[in-house]
Amino acid sequence: MDELLDFSGKVALITGAGGGFGRLLAQGLAKRGCKLILSDINQTNLDETLASLNGQDNAIAMICDVSKEQDCKNMVDTALEKFGRVDIGVNNAGIAHEMQPLHQLSEDTMHSQFNVNVNGVLFGMKYQIEAMLKQGEGHVLNISSLAGLGGAPKGGAYSAAKHAVVGLTKTAAVEYARKGVRCNAICPFYSPTAILGELTSEEGQALLARGTPIKRLSDPQEVVNAMLLILSPGNSYMTGQTIAIDGGVTAW
């Protein structure tokens, strides 16, 4: 195996592993030797992810509501109990909201976006980084969005939350760089995962793709391939970055 993508002996935590990017990343890391702690709020989806790993012995699945701090702590505690360390933390769990203009956003929508998309990332980072500091190294990868780098018409609460993820990522990178802990984020454009809802239809995807120079949406595996490259043990000098995976949207 190419040493740049050899995760043998590494221990990774992935939230939102019941589908989409989380499931594909679990599969990609597992076949490259990584030990896994996988979580999701949906047990059925989580069981399907675990089954897709083809008998991987070093994968543990557990329910986690990332909006609850104790659930996020339990993930890290389980990793330390079973595997003795935490090398990688991928804070992937997130939710979208019904598209609506800013003046129609409700208090409940704002609360739900920040409870899951911001607090869920913060709680994950809090305990992942604590473990990494004790061992002197580690890498956190947060899943933001292109909406975290610019405006998102009719997605204001989601955009605000994803901007907050970028802020947490950069702050952590500066705070912990000298202590061996790195923190980066990816900011994907639309990709046909469950979070898109009705926009996963062929017509919906075609409409969204018009906004990209490449004139198509990403395949989720393309995004996960970029995640694997960012997480590579050889990619040891990158920290504080928010990488747009967007088919060229930000180049315009």
Express each pLDDT in 35-60 by its tens digit: 999 999 999 999 999 999 987 789 99
User: What is the pLDDT averaged over residues 190-205?
Assistant: 69
Nearest one of 91, 29, 37, 23 to 229, comparing CA atoms: 29
- Can you tell me the mean pLDDT for 66-85? 98
Catalogue the active-site residues: 144, 158, 162
Helix, strand, coil percentages in the chain from 3-state DSSP, rounded to 5: 50, 15, 35
Residue 54 is predicted with a pLDDT of: 84
Residue 199 has pLDDT above 80, yes or no: no
**Is pLDDT of 242 > 70?**
yes
Tens of pLDDT, residue by residue over 115-169, are 999 999 999 999 999 999 999 999 999 999 999 999 999 999 999 999 999 999 9
Q: Show Cβ contacts of residue 134 under 8 Å, excluding neighbours closer than 6 positions.
A: none
Grade residue 195 by pLDDT with cuts at 50, 70 and 90: low
pTM score of the predicted model? 0.95
Round the average pLDDT of the chain to a whole number and report it: 94
pLDDT of amino acid 1? 74
Query: What's the pLDDT at 200?
Result: 60
Q: Report how far Cα 36 is from the mean position of its chain's Cα atoms.
A: 14
Residue 3's pLDDT is what? 86
